[in-house]
Structure 1
Amino acid sequence: MILSVLLALLLIVSSMILSFYAYVAWTLARPHIDQLTSNPMKASKLAYTNVTFPSLSGNSELEGWFIPSADATKTVIFSHGYGGNREEIWVPLYKLASKLHEQKYNVLMFDYGYVKPYNNRLMTGGIQESQELLGAIDYVKKTTGGAIYIWGFSMGAGTALQSALQNNTDIAGMILDSTFLLNPDTLYHNIVQIAQIPKYPSLPLIRFFFPILNGVSLHEVPYQKVASTSYSMPIFFIHGTADKKAPYDLVESLYKQQHNTASELWILPKAEHELLYRAEPRAYVNRTLSFLNSLGHPPTNVHAASGIPSSL
């Protein structure tokens, strides 16, 4: 009798533990997304066009705003972060779009597929999102041409790095703010801020449930290849030392891999995740625009992208 009770209790506890990790895996792919609150005209008096385009894989249809600048031959594509949308007001993207417009850059602001529920898309840590960013690049190539730059934030920055692994000829340069790459360390780093759970078996269980519940495996995120690649285009990495979601030593390591002499690293003391503009607004604008303006031309292959196989 006692043995039966103990076995029943063990079964209940085990089921609760497994259910908890399944729930974490389920919610990870379904972040809460706020509705759009404005648009470029209302927020910054910028004329814009509503645009739609497919991902490069053709698996999703993306929506966005294209903001033209008179006589512009260059375009910046914003790549928003996890839980955000095309306007990502805490960055804030409208102000950056206005500054870019003044400097004669076209701007494309778009939503990743998981932002719109009717797309039947989930967040995949950059696996499918990289195809969507490549679709945005393809859209700009076909409609306006000229040099294309990616300005990514958080997981949108990590997605930009994954996209550049697949296309290193159409991206003239990248600005990566608070780069988040969904590797085991950063995943656990974020989980323990919500619940103090052991790394093992927590990570293996979450990674086990993720493909079962979401249809795609986190093992497909090529974080090892991203971490070891010297990209052909110049990259401006910006990060804060008080970033609790993506430790800045990851970005320092990424920067050390780069051989393009135009690449830069800016670490802001005490700055938090995606709040770098707010920490140093004037310096942020001056340094990012100076970086873009210093490039001036489409990329030349200083070093071909290289890396180790992405097996986990």
Structure 2
Amino acid sequence: MQLNTVAYAERKSILPKNIFLACIYIIILVFLATGILSFISAYKITHPSKVETPQITSNIAPNYKNISFYTGGEAEDKINGWFFPSGTSKTSVLLVHGYGKNRLQFNEETFKLISQFTNKDINVLTIDLRGSGNSSGSINTFGKNETADILSSIKYLKQIGTDRIILMGFSTGASSCLSAVSETPYRDSIIGVIGDSPYSTVDNYTDYLINSSSLLSEWPFKYTIKFCVNKLSKVTSDLDIIPKIPALIPTPVFLIDGAQEDIPASDNTKLLYEMYYRKSPVPAYYWNSGAQEYCNSFLEYPEQYMDKVMDFINKCIKKADMADKN
């Protein structure tokens, strides 16, 4: 009887220990699974599938030529694009697509946008940012590499004889255009910036991507995925546009957004406009199209969109003409 009592006591003392170890193993597995799932989700966000540039025919596109150049810097990535000349014009619009797109932001409808410019004696350069379309690279950095690509594009336009440049970007491309203005050595050649649905802080946009692309629960995955996204793409607050507003002045800007509810685009865009308007001696322009989908104003209201865009560009050209005379 004494032996049985001892054996029972030993089993009783081992049981709590086993439960404790089991809890530790479960916690480790939960953390491991959370980390793996977060990394996979973050990798998909930072490495979106490339939308390949389609083969086009002359009956749907204005006259163009294939162009390419290298970004320079540590990573010699090749940027591919199309240049649409308009006679002997020395004024060019640089179109910069958003996240997950290519040089044709609105697919074949983009040619209607391009034609509006070339018909008004304005050249157009549209590119695939690195990691998109037919350009090299695979990662999206939400503005870091993209800004560098725009700087290289501006340099290319200057090398082929462009005197005046209007930057026109969409979504992350819009924010990258705003960033590029303060960094380019060809600042005097930038006569205007059109930003369609830019973010004001990069956190706002990565939060939107995580919420819209991940099927995982908000807690804890929103925070763990965001941590992985920031590490993979090297996203920092240096990409925020708000602190760069003073450096953008006095370049004229025209900011566009819509009325969609899935991303606070209006909050971002209108905030940038109001900050610029208060600080700048030159006019800033803002238009809320009422479009129901994010960065979709051109497709939903094409005529009104182009009227406002061309009105802004004409003002920029007139201002540049006056500056040249002085």
Q: Same fold (TM over 0.5)?
A: yes
Partner SS state of residue 103, structure 1:
coil
Q: Does 1:242 align with 2:263?
A: no
1:175 is matched with which residue? 194
What TM-score does the superposition give when structure 1 sets the normalisation length? Answer: 0.85
Could you tell me how far apart the structure 2 residues matched to 1:239 and 1:98 are? Answer: 22
2:69 is matched with which residue? 53
Could you tell me how far apart the structure 1 residues matched to 2:238 and 2:134 are? Answer: 23
User: In the alignment, residue 79 of structure 2 is paired with which amino acid?
Assistant: L
Structure holding more helix per residue: 2
Q: Does 1:23 align with 2:43?
A: no
1:309 is matched with which residue? none
Partner SS state of residue 292, structure 2:
coil
- Identity percentage over the alignment? 21
Residue 271 of structure 1: which of 284, 292, 299 is its match? 292
* Contact 1:81/1:155 (8 A) holds in 2: yes
1:232-259 deviations in Å (ceiling 9; x for gaps) = 2111101001152352111111001221
Cα 1:92–1:228, aligned 2, differ >3 Å: closer, same or farther?
farther
Cα 1:39–1:260, aligned 2, differ >3 Å: closer, same or farther?
farther
Residue 253 of structure 1: which of 253, 256, 271 is its match? 271
Cα 1:118–1:241, aligned 2, differ >3 Å: closer, same or farther?
closer
Q: Computing the radius of gyration over CA atoms, which structure comes out larger, 1 or 2?
A: 2
Q: Which moved more, 1:216-225 or 1:11-20?
A: 216-225
Q: Which moved more, 1:119-128 or 1:97-106?
A: 119-128
Residue 72 of structure 1: which of 65, 89, 93 is its match? 89
2:15 is matched with which residue? none
2:178 is matched with which residue? 161
Give 1:18 shift: 1.4
Cα 1:289–1:222, aligned 2, differ >3 Å: closer, same or farther?
same
Structure 2: 5+ residue stretches without partners: 1-17
Cα 1:298–1:166, aligned 2, differ >3 Å: closer, same or farther?
farther
1:119 is matched with which residue? 136
Q: Does 1:225 align with 2:225?
A: no
Q: Which has the higher contact order (CA 8 A, sep 6+)?
A: 1
Give 1:206 shift: 3.4
Cα 1:248–1:33, aligned 2, differ >3 Å: closer, same or farther?
same
Residue 193 of structure 1: which of 204, 212, 217 is its match? 212
* Contact 1:190/1:244 (8 A) holds in 2: no
Cα 1:58–1:162, aligned 2, differ >3 Å: closer, same or farther?
same
Give 1:228 shift: 6.3
* Contact 1:153/1:176 (8 A) holds in 2: yes
Could you tell me how far apart the structure 2 residues matched to 1:81 and 1:231 are? Answer: 24
* Contact 1:173/1:299 (8 A) holds in 2: no
Structure 1: 5+ residue stretches without partners: 303-312
* Contact 1:207/1:218 (8 A) holds in 2: no
1:121-167 deviations in Å (ceiling 9; x for gaps) = 41111111111111000001010222101110111101111111212
* Contact 1:233/1:299 (8 A) holds in 2: no
* Contact 1:175/1:236 (8 A) holds in 2: yes
Residue 140 of structure 1: which of 138, 157, 160 is its match? 157
Cα 1:118–1:296, aligned 2, differ >3 Å: closer, same or farther?
closer
Q: Does 1:262 align with 2:286?
A: no
Q: Does 1:129 align with 2:146?
A: yes
Cα 1:289–1:270, aligned 2, differ >3 Å: closer, same or farther?
closer
* Contact 1:53/1:139 (8 A) holds in 2: yes
Aligned length: 298
1:308 is matched with which residue? none
* Contact 1:85/1:111 (8 A) holds in 2: yes
Could you tell me how far apart the structure 2 residues matched to 1:184 and 1:91 are? Answer: 31
